[in-house]
């Protein structure tokens, strides 16, 4: 089956600093890629997605991600974080050779923005 | 906006009880999903449904069943709840190949 690896379980960062949350996936066949954010006691909200086209994808709240096919990565970045970005972030993959209709999620990265 | 609602935000049940978790979406999506979320494990797919009365097992279906009698409603059933089913349960829906939209989650505690 497809696997999704989020290399960092927790990322502490100071407010207004840049941040990168890393995501790698196992399939090299064409896939769809997503980043979701989860605030405490809430469901998941879509931040951004890559389906095709430009490898640099812009999402909500100033986040962006770059699809790198050769490295099978889809890292999430923000140039300047706010306290309100404190949340858990999940990378997800669907499609590819395994099962088009299934989503595979990483284990999540908790972003802790400090003042 | 797509709306996915779940019948309860918090639920406390006893071991051995039959538990029903319900999910309703208002966007006529074909596909619906049930996940459980546990710390450090991310989201794991329990079951999904790609049409009315159609279902497929996910990665961890043991101890669960599902029902989809109407397109907008997808129910998760714990036949005999056990303490290891204490978790956050998330429902999602989508059109084929498109973004998943999630409900707010149900936090289930089995005593």
User: A5-19 pLDDT, tens per residue?
Assistant: 999 999 999 999 999
Minimal Cα–Cα distance from B59 to chain A, Å?
A: 10
Give the pLDDT score at A97. Answer: 46
Name chain B contacts of A60, Cβ cutoff 8 Å.
Answer: none
Asked if the C-beta of B10 comes within 8 angstroms of chain A's C-beta atoms, the answer is no
By Cβ distance, the residue of A9, A43, A49 closest to B99 is A49
Q: What per-residue confidence (pLDDT) applies to A28?
A: 61
pLDDT number for residue A99? 58
Say how far apart CA A97 and CA A99 lie, in whole Å.
Answer: 6
> Residue B70: what are its φ and ψ, rounded to 5°?
-130, 155
Pairing of strands B106-110, B10-13: parallel
pLDDT value of position A27: 72
Contact (CB, 8 A) for A36 and A45? yes
**The pair of three-digit structure tokens given for residue B18, joined into one six-digit string:** 């039959």
| Cβ-Cβ contacts under 8 Å, B101 against chain A | 46
Cα distance between residue A78 and residue B25, in whole Å: 32
CB contact under 8 A, B97 and A107: no
Q: What is the 3-state secondary structure (H, E, C) of B51-96?
A: ECCEEEECCCCCCEEEEEEECCEEEEEECCCCHHHCEEEEEEEECC
Q: Which portions of chain B are predicted below pLDDT 50?
A: none
pLDDT in tens, B20-36: 999 999 989 989 999 99
pLDDT at A62: 95
Instruction: Report pLDDT digits (tens) over A16-33.
Output: 999 999 999 987 666 889
pLDDT in tens, A67-103: 998 899 999 999 999 999 999 999 998 865 445 567 8
- Given pLDDT bands bounded at 50, 70 and 90, which one contains residue A1? low
Q: Do A36 and B102 touch (CB under 8 A)?
A: yes
């Amino acid at each position: 089956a497809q696997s999704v690896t989020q290399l960092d379980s927790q990322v502490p960062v100071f407010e207004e600093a840049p941040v990168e949350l890393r995501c790698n996936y196992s399939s090299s066949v064409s896939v769809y890629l997503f980043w979701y954010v989860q605030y405490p006691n809430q469901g998941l909200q879509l931040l951004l997605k890559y389906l095709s086209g430009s490898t640099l994808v812009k999402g909500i709240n100033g986040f962006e991600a770059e699809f790198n096919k050769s490295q099978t990565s889809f890292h999430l970045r923000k140039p300047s974080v706010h306290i309100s970005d404190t949340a858990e972030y999940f990378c997800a993959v669907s499609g590819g050779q395994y099962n088009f209709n299934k989503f595979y999620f990483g284990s999540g990265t908790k972003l802790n923005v400090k003042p | 906006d797509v709306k996915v609602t779940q019948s309860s935000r918090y639920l406390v049940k006893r071991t051995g009880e039959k538990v029903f978790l319900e999910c309703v979406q208002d966007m006529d999506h074909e596909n619906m999903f049930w996940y459980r979320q546990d710390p450090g494990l991310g989201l794991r797919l329990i079951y999904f449904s790609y049409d009315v009365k159609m279902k497929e097992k996910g990665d961890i279906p043991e101890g669960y069943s599902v029902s989809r009698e109407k397109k907008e409603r997808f129910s998760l059933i714990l036949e005999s709840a056990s303490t290891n089913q204490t978790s956050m349960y998330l429902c999602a829906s989508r059109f084929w190949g498109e973004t998943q939209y999630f409900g707010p989650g149900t936090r289930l505690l089995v005593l």
